[in-house]
Each structure stands twice: as structure tokens, then as C-alpha cells.
Structure 1
């Protein structure tokens, strides 16, 4: 053992000396010794000994507080508290992979853009969320942006390209061409847009989801006249919303319609109308709804829509055929 100690490096020799003879190593804060018996040869008298300062987070506690830095770093990693990098105080940085302060633990380095009055309109057709800016304009902001929107939701593409908008890449929308609009619509994986050419003029619209009152259901959508036209009519939601829905029914909220899907989330043909992460499915009794005068429509991308009843556009609970969990498909009892 002495040969091993002799051949060891200086930090290791110091550690061996410390582990066997802490007093000889000059270490006077051995935590296992009773109070009053830990004063070594280098310590001042107990009566005049200053109160030891609390070890900092960086220093650690107990043994590592008085060790030489080189020995502590090599020999006692298990005694040091784990290093916790400072978290960025901005919640947006933690949730969106953005870090604006040194030491933010997120790996992605993106800085939030400066506030801008320009609405973002993306032209990246390969992204699953690439058309969110376009749908926002065509569904909700036609009046605000003074777009000439028809009752069927169509606007002229050339009017759209004149707007003071910019893409997510901060490229002015005016720099894009009509052909690029065509390609973006063609490659949109949710088929949220339709194009129409009249008298050499290209028009574009969002297929559903409007809040602008200029649009009428009869002009925008195809009516469903028979239950045979619909094999599945389901509304996807979340368990946290179920109690409210069972009390007051499904509401269209600020939109013109309540949305239903023509298939289940697992169906490959379902493109839009239901989120993939829903955990509650509400099936509509289409036959009963049509019999009682509820107007049902279907959009070009196979989303089923209804204005509901009354000023608030409500689908009452009595028209629910069944409610089940997803993906377990366990039935949930309810009272109509």
C-alpha cells in the first residue's frame, strides 16, 4: 500500500493522506467528529474561532468545503451537489426553445423577433403548419385588411399579394408570385385552401373555419341532405371540457360553425376537422339532427359543419349519439 501511495500522483497522495489522517492533512472540518473535538493544529482556539461561513452552492457541503480544489474536483464528485444551470426567467424561452440569456438550458438558440405590425403569412409548403398565417387572413381578417371577400369566401390572389404582409422568413409577400401561391395550396397537407380561376383571375379561399360574417354557409359549403351521405360524424375534444359540454352542449364560439370530422383520428383519409391528440370523441346523431331541422354541411376537405341552433349556435346534448374515450374507445355514460 505504501508503494502505491508513493507512486500516486500528488492529488491522489493528498486524498490518501486525507482519508487516513485528516488532522495531519491539515483538514479541520471533518463532519464525523463531535462538536468541540474537530480543532486541529491549524485551527484557532475554540473560544476565538469564528463561525464558519455557510458553504456556497458552488463549493458544496461538508468534506468538499475545505478540500484543495484539485483534490475535491478529482476525488469527491459524489459529494458535490449537481450543477443546475440557471433557467431563463422568460417562460416563452422555456416553452418554445428560445434562449435570450446566457445559461438558458434550451439547446435551440432562437431569439424572439422584434414586435412588428406586419402579419406573418407563410409560404413554406412543406411544413404541416405552414399555412397557419394564410388561414388566419382568409378566415378572420378580411374586413380588417379590407379584402374584397365574396360570400363563398374567395378573394383575388393579386389583392392578397398587395397586402403589407411578410412571410415567416421575413420576405415581403409582394415578392411572391401567383405560381408560388398555387404550389403552396397544392402541397398543403390539410387541404385548407381552394383555388378558383374565373375570367383569367385566380381566386383563393379557406375551406372552413371562418369568423367573418361575409361568408354564408350555402355559398361556402355543400349541404348534407341525408344521413346516408355521412358514415361518421364525430367531434374531438378533451376530458377537461367534457363537463361544460354536457351542461350546455357544443358551441360554435366565435366561428360560424361547429366542426365535426368525417372519420376517426386514426383513419388515414381524415385530413382536417379533428386533432390527433384528442382524448374524447362525441358522435353526432345525424339522422335525428337532420330530422329536427339542423343544417349540416361538408367542406371541400371533408369537414362536417353545422351552425347549430339559436343565436349562440349550439348543438344540444340530446343530439349526441354516444361519447367515448380515445384511443381506448371506452363508452362514457351521459344523460341526454
Structure 2
């Protein structure tokens, strides 16, 4: 037996309870403590370069149609014109180049296209420089320089990363959809593996392995972008579940 002394009053007698009862009290207190709603930590504000990267992604992937911006058939936009966009007020070519060069997912590509075809010496000058997003467009880009994947053995592992709730709610029965983009995005491996820099979110907890041999044999076309992302339109914008040969969660459990 344990003696619990009431320290608020010296006139009240000590309370005697059993060890088992005392344990139950502690367990109840623990349950109440852990069941309290936790306050979500506020997300840290984006750095200036992250903000610029997001602005470039929007303008180059979606802006030309929504805001009637001039862009070439291969997805390139003149940097001097780009810097006039209200989202990029105060941004210089040096800022754009730094974000392009430091982007770990290689989302963008810069190319010099001066009148004489020669590379510029002054990298701080935007004139003659063009930029594009390597993939992720929501409008037609006919000359994006995508590499067709003809031989499935050239891409033995192709994965789409998603989340448990999305898998259970839709993908499991309906397949992968390109949504508002031109393609479904896939990766040639898991996040962090050699050569995998884009095409799959590191926060994914479900990994869908695509049966490339079966899909290509059925006429589904696949492409590889400049930064190694595997792209497909599927069939009418959908890659059906029949082309999933393996689906696992982050702990390796099979979901098929």
C-alpha cells in the first residue's frame, strides 16, 4: 500500500491506496496528457531564393497561358522580359542565375541566345539569356526536348511517390492522373538514390513501381526530361493500376 499525504491540510487523514490503483491513476494522467491537441509549429518562412524559385516555377510552368507572357515553342522565355514581371520586382539576372545554379532538383535551364550566337562575357547582363522549366508545364510545349524511352530495360526502376490517404482514396482503384499538368511525373528510383534529383517528393510514404515493360508494350509512351524525371501521359491522361507491379509503404509493407 502507498500513503498519499494531502499537503493542503494537516487536518485531513492520509489516504491509503494500493499499488495497482496508483499505477492506474498515473496511466490515466498520461493518457490525458498525450490526448491533448498539439499546437502545430508555424512553418519557417521561405528564404528569398526559395521564394524566387517558386515564382520562376509559376511563371515558366503556368504563367504564359494565364498571363499571356511571350514564350517559345521549346519553353524558353527571355530573361529580360521575365524580369519585368510584377512577381520579380527588384530581382536581377544575378539572382536568377544563382537560383538556377543552386537548385538541387535542376528545375530550370539557362541558355544564351544572343544575336551572334556567342556566349556573353558579362553574366550580370540579362540581354540574350533565356530560361525554361525542364518539366511540369500546364500548357503545351511542343519542343521541350524530351528523350523518348523506347527500351524498358533502360529504366529498370520507375516509381511514383504519393501519400497513404491519396493512395487509398483514389490511386488504388483509379490509377495515376496527370491532373492539370501535361504529364504524370515519375522517378528512376527512390529519393536520395544515385541520380534521383527530382520527380518524387522526399515526404512520400507510398511508392508505386511502374511495370515499364508491360506499359510500353501496350503503347504507352514515356520520356525523360533534362533533369532525369520520367514523364508519361498514360492513356488519356491516366496510368491505370494494371501497370503497377509493386506498391509499398515507407516501412516496406506491400499495399497491393
Please tell me the TM-score bracket, short chain as reference.
Answer: 0.7 to 0.9
Structure showing greater radius of gyration is 1
**3-state SS, counterpart of residue 135 of structure 1:** helix
- Is 2:224 aligned against 1:301? no
User: Is 1:156 matched with 2:78?
Assistant: yes
Indicate the residue corresponding to 1:314 in structure 2: 238
In 2: Cα distance, 1:186 partner to 1:134 partner: 13
Partners of 1:331 and 1:137 in 2: how far apart? Answer: 39
Aligned to 1:179: 94
2:135 maps to 208
Q: Check conservation: 1:123, 1:184, Cα contact below 8 A.
A: no
Residue 261, structure 1, aligned to residue 184, structure 2? no
**1:131 is the counterpart of 2:53:** yes
Asked whether the 8 Å contact 1:261–1:272 carries over to 2, the reply is yes
For structure 2, the residue ranges without an aligned partner over 5 or more in a row are 1-6, 14-38, 116-127
Q: Match of 1:142, SS?
A: helix
Residue 123 of structure 1 deviates from its aligned partner by 5.3
Residues 316 and 176 from structure 1, CA distance in 2 versus in 1: closer, same or farther, beyond 3 angstroms?
same
The correspondence for 2:176, drawn from 246, 250, 254, is 250
Distance 1:165 1:266, change over 3 A: closer
CA distance 1:238–1:176, change in 2 (3 Å): closer
Which SS does the other structure have where 1:322 is aligned?
A: strand
Deviations 1:142-201 (Å, cap 9, x if unpaired)? Answer: 1223211122211110110111224xxxxx2xx333233222211111111011222352
Q: CA deviation at 1:277?
A: 1.8
* Aligned partner (choices 190, 196, 199) of residue 270 of structure 1: 196
Change (3 A) 1:268 1:208: same
Q: Equivalent residues in 2 for 1:101-140 (5 A)? A: 124=49, 127=50, 131-140=53-62
SS at match of 1:96: coil
In structure 2, distance between residues paired with 1:240 and 1:177: 41
CA root-mean-square deviation: 2.8
Q: Which stretch of structure 1 is more off in the superposition, 262-271 or 299-308? A: 262-271
With a CA cutoff of 8 Å and minimum separation of 6, indicate the structure with the bigger relative contact order.
Answer: 2
For normalisation by structure 2, the TM-score amounts to 0.74
